[in-house]
């Protein structure tokens, strides 16, 4: 008899490998630290995923809609008006500008390329906006431009990662995850961080651009599709009704609860939260994702066609999500990489097509949020992962068939509107050729710090302990852009 007991204990001990031991040890300590940070109840806090947490400061924005034009739109054809560049159109780029610089495709000495758009000033603010964005120009006074943005990554994927996770390498949590982790969701039936992609492709950085990194996986972005089933794999399988589904989830979670008590891995708790959320989403998501019930004047405003996979539909969905209390909505639209290697990739025709797809929808979004009283609480961010060169691309040393520009890190334009941001303002300036920022230099970290600030989060103290050090979105950089705050 004694032998049997002994054997049982030994078997049990064998089950707990060194890995289990280390993981329970590590997470135990981590959870303690997290508990003290959140001022709540240790590991259990991960269970209450949708419970609202508290911003450390008075934040003016309650939610964020980040409109990412994946591929990087040309600032020189949209918002950064450079008449001097037009004068030097076709001339060789001054050597001192490109000496020692590396470009993704430009080789040797390229020619300068004047702006391929017509500009005019709009609104009380006198913003320069090109004729590619006619609808947006009517909304000029809502917008604050950041014309002095710069980055240090000239390839799409790392630059997108830097923009959204604060690191060009994989593995860090995305901004939306940080925000969900810090503030939670208002709506208990919807995830706090949702992602919508259009343009036929996910961004180059892939799902890592909305991953949760080392934060509990419940905080990762939930990607929804605007055509077909909004979220894959949450509908009941054939022959399973809601009651059976609920019963099986309860059973799985009961097992998970036991596993959690045995090993103490917070990921188990996160998984339980995800099952619960998926169950709730079965009814809440189809409702929020259904734009067919929107009145005709709303479709007219955004230029939406129900059932289509389109950026315009995603804009309308973003409004619906924010209205329902979703904290962070991330939109990606692919196809802004205007190298000039094809007609659709040209900075005149191709870029204009992308603007036709987005200009009305973005402007409609601003108008719609405003008339619903949501704009003062919603922060809109528009931009790409870097800018485009004032020089025409000369891939393989040859002039391209179409007008195009290479990736550029030294200067690009982004804009913000809504919650906590001064309306009708412009910050930062580039030189006469639009090559580099001359004042109001704004790093990606500065932008991230500012977005967090608008939500009431102090980026320097908002950390998560991982592998022995406290990590934050802005790493060790970033300064809130004070002049643009309202």
Partner 1 sequence: MILLDAGPSDWVLFFGHFHPVLVHLPIGMLLIAVIMYFFASKKSVPYVFFWAFISAVFSCLMGWALSQSGEYDENTLFFHQWLGVAVAVLSGALAYMTAYWSQDAAMARLIKPFLFVSVALITLTGHFGGNLTHGSDYLTAYLPQPIRGWVGMEPRAEQGGANEPAIRKIANIEAALIYQDLVQPVLKQKCWSCHNAEKQKGKLRMDSPAFLMTGGEDGAIIKAGFPEESEIIKRLLLPDSDEHHMPPKGKPGFSEEEISILHWWLKEGADFKKKVKDASADAKIKTILKRYSSGESSGPYLSPVFKMSISEADESDVKDLQKLGLLVNPSAKDQPFLEVNAVNAYGLGDKELEALVNIQDQIVSLKLGKTKISDASMKQLATMPLLIFLALDHTKVSDKGLTSLEGLRYLESLNLYGTQVSDAGLASLAKIKSLKHLYVWQSKVTDAGLATFKKARPGVQVDNGFKGKWPLEIDTIRVEEKMK
Which residues are near partner 1 by CB under 8 A?
52, 54-59, 116, 131, 134-135, 138, 186-189, 300-301, 303, 324-325, 343, 346, 348-349, 352, 356, 360, 367-368, 370-373, 376, 402, 420, 456, 479, 482-483, 485-486
Of the candidates 381, 441, 391, the one whose C-alpha atom is nearest the C-alpha of residue 411 is 441
Complex with partner 1: residue 61 or 205, whichever CB lies closer? 61
Complex with partner 1: residue 27 or 138, whichever CB lies closer? 138
Query: C-beta of 179: minimal distance to partner 1 in Å?
Result: 15
CA distances from 402 to 103, 127, 242, 345 (A): 19, 28, 56, 8
Residue 119 DSSP class: E
Query: C-beta of 372: minimal distance to partner 1 in Å?
Result: 6
Give dist(CA 133, CA 305) in Å, integer.
Answer: 20
The burial of 280, by beta-carbon neighbours within 10 Å (0-12 exposed, 13-18 middle, 19 or more buried), is given as middle
CA R_g for the chain: 24
Length of the chain: 486
β pairing state of 328-334 and 193-198: parallel
CA distances from 32 to 35, 54, 213, 215, 466 (A): 5, 19, 19, 15, 12
Query: C-beta of 335: minimal distance to partner 1 in Å?
Result: 16
Complex with partner 1: residue 112 or 369, whichever CB lies closer? 369
What is the phi/psi pair of residue 43, to 5°? -60, -30
Query: C-beta of 422: minimal distance to partner 1 in Å?
Result: 9
Query: C-beta of 64: minimal distance to partner 1 in Å?
Result: 17
Q: How many CB atoms lie within 10 A of CB 396?
A: 7
Residue whose structure tokens are 């109001």: 440
Query: C-beta of 196: minimal distance to partner 1 in Å?
Result: 21
Query: C-beta of 37: minimal distance to partner 1 in Å?
Result: 11
User: 3-class SS at 270?
Assistant: helix
Query: C-beta of 482: minimal distance to partner 1 in Å?
Result: 7
User: 3-class SS at 485?
Assistant: strand
User: 3-class SS at 262?
Assistant: helix
Complex with partner 1: residue 294 or 376, whichever CB lies closer? 376
Give dist(CA 95, CA 258) in Å, integer.
Answer: 68
Tokens found for residue 419: 């919650």
Query: C-beta of 293: minimal distance to partner 1 in Å?
Result: 15
Complex with partner 1: residue 325 or 465, whichever CB lies closer? 325
Query: C-beta of 134: minimal distance to partner 1 in Å?
Result: 5
Cβ(434)–Cβ(80) under 8 Å?
yes
CA distances from 477 to 99, 313, 444, 445, 459 (A): 28, 36, 9, 6, 9
Complex with partner 1: residue 55 or 230, whichever CB lies closer? 55
Complex with partner 1: residue 179 or 209, whichever CB lies closer? 179
Give dist(CA 163, CA 209) in Å, integer.
Answer: 9
Complex with partner 1: residue 271 or 299, whichever CB lies closer? 299
Of the candidates 154, 170, 180, 152, the one whose C-alpha atom is nearest the C-alpha of residue 209 is 170
What is the phi/psi pair of residue 427, to 5°? -130, 130
Complex with partner 1: residue 117 or 205, whichever CB lies closer? 117
Complex with partner 1: residue 28 or 35, whichever CB lies closer? 35
CA 73 to chain CA mean position, Å: 16
Complex with partner 1: residue 73 or 203, whichever CB lies closer? 73
Give dist(CA 417, CA 429) in Å, integer.
Answer: 19
Query: C-beta of 213: minimal distance to partner 1 in Å?
Result: 24
């Amino acid at each position: 008899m004694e032998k049997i007991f002994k054997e049982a204990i030994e078997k049990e001990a064998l089950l707990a490998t060194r890995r289990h031991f280390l993981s329970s040890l590590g997470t135990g300590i981590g959870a303690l630290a997290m508990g003290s940070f959140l001022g709540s109840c240790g590991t259990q806090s991960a269970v209450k995923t949708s419970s609202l947490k508290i911003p450390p400061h008075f934040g003016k924005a309650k939610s964020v809609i980040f409109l990412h034009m994946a591929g990087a739109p040309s600032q020189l054809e949209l918002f950064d008006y450079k008449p001097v560049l037009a004068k030097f159109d076709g001339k060789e780029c001054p050597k001192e500008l490109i000496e020692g610089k590396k470009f993704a495709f430009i080789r040797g000495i390229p020619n300068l390329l004047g702006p391929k758009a017509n500009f005019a000033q709009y609104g009380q603010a006198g913003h320069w906006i090109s004729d590619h964005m006619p609808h947006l120009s009517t909304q000029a006074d809502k917008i604050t431009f950041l014309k002095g943005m710069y980055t240090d990554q000239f390839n799409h994927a790392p630059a997108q990662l830097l923009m959204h996770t604060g690191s060009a390498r994989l593995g860090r949590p995305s901004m939306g995850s940080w925000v969900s982790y810090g503030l939670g969701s208002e709506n208990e039936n919807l995830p706090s961080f949702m992602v919508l992609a259009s343009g036929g492709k996910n961004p180059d950085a892939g799902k890592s651009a909305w991953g949760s990194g080392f934060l509990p996986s419940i905080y990762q972005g939930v990607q929804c599709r605007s055509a077909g089933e909004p979220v894959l794999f949450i509908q009941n399988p054939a022959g399973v009704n809601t009651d059976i589904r609920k019963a099986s989830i309860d059973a799985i979670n009961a097992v998970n609860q036991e596993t959690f008590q045995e090993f103490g891995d917070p990921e188990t708790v996160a998984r339980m939260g995800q099952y619960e959320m998926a169950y709730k989403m079965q009814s809440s998501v189809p409702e929020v994702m259904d734009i067919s019930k929107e009145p005709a004047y709303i479709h007219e405003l955004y230029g939406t066609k129900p059932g289509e996979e389109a950026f315009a539909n995603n804009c309308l969905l973003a409004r619906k999500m924010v209205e329902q209390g979703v904290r962070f909505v991330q939109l990606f639209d692919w196809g802004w990489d205007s190298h000039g290697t094809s007609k659709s990739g040209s900075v005149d025709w191709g870029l204009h097509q992308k603007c036709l797809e987005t200009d009305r929808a973005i402007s409609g979004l601003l108008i719609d949020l405003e008339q619903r009283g949501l704009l003062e609480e919603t922060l809109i961010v528009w931009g790409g992962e870097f800018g485009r060169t004032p020089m025409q691309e000369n891939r393989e040393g040859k002039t391209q068939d179409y007008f195009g520009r290479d990736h550029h890190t030294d200067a690009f334009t982004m804009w913000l509107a809504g919650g906590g941001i001064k309306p009708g303002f412009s910050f930062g300036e580039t030189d006469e050729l639009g090559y580099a920022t001359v004042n109001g230099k704004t790093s990606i970290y500065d932008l991230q710090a500012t977005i967090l600030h608008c939500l009431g989060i102090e980026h320097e103290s908002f950390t998560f302990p991982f592998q022995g050090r406290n990590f934050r979105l802005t790493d060790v950089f970033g300064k809130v852009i004070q002049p643009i705050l309202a």
